[in-house]
Structure 1
């Protein structure tokens, strides 16, 4: 089961909003909107995606990683490693 099950509807709502923002930027480019205005919207999309990613990561830590640590052993090390790599990817993005 996914760790974000309790936040699933919120995550889907956020992703749909982001999808609409991306379509809006596509229209802006097609309509030759001023570069800075387009970049402002791209920045807003990036922030929205980052926020969604943090929500998913938080749910993963609170559910999947916490359960694995409680069980201990190799499963705990694997889950902590996955979380560390996910955090590293988010930091680089």
Structure 2
């Protein structure tokens, strides 16, 4: 097992993201998980704040600005996850001869870019 800055990279015989019949799991470092959970908790709080703004009939433009901030924060989490996925699972699966991961990645990226 190799340690990268933000991710744990497992050997290719580790079942973390291999095998179609096995449950696939990510393998982020504890630091990376903590970072993402912190970001997601902040986003969750922002969403509750926007809900409160709507309930209080806050001016639409102010609500829309908060929605834009939430979208940017979610995009940031998505970029972190995508980078980690590409640097670990995708590389490992390609090295193991599983080229289907490229199609899976392209489908996921299309969803993220919408």
Number of equivalences: 89
Q: Following superposition of structure 1 onto structure 2, how do residues 1-93 of structure 1 map, counting pairs within 5 Å?
A: 1=16, 2-3=25-26, 5-6=28-29, 7-72=32-97, 75=98, 77-92=99-114
Q: Structure 1 unaligned runs (5+)?
A: none
Q: Which has the higher contact order (CA 8 A, sep 6+)?
A: 1
1:25-63 per-residue CA deviation (whole Å, 9 max, x = no partner) reads 011111111110000000000111111111111111000
TM score, norm. by length of structure 2: 0.73
TM score, norm. by length of structure 1: 0.88
Which aligned segments of 4 or more residues in structure 1 are displaced greater than 6 angstroms? Answer: none
Give the superposed CA RMSD.
Answer: 1.2
The alpha-carbon deviation at position 4 of structure 1 amounts to 5.2
Q: Structure 2 unaligned runs (5+)?
A: 1-15, 17-24
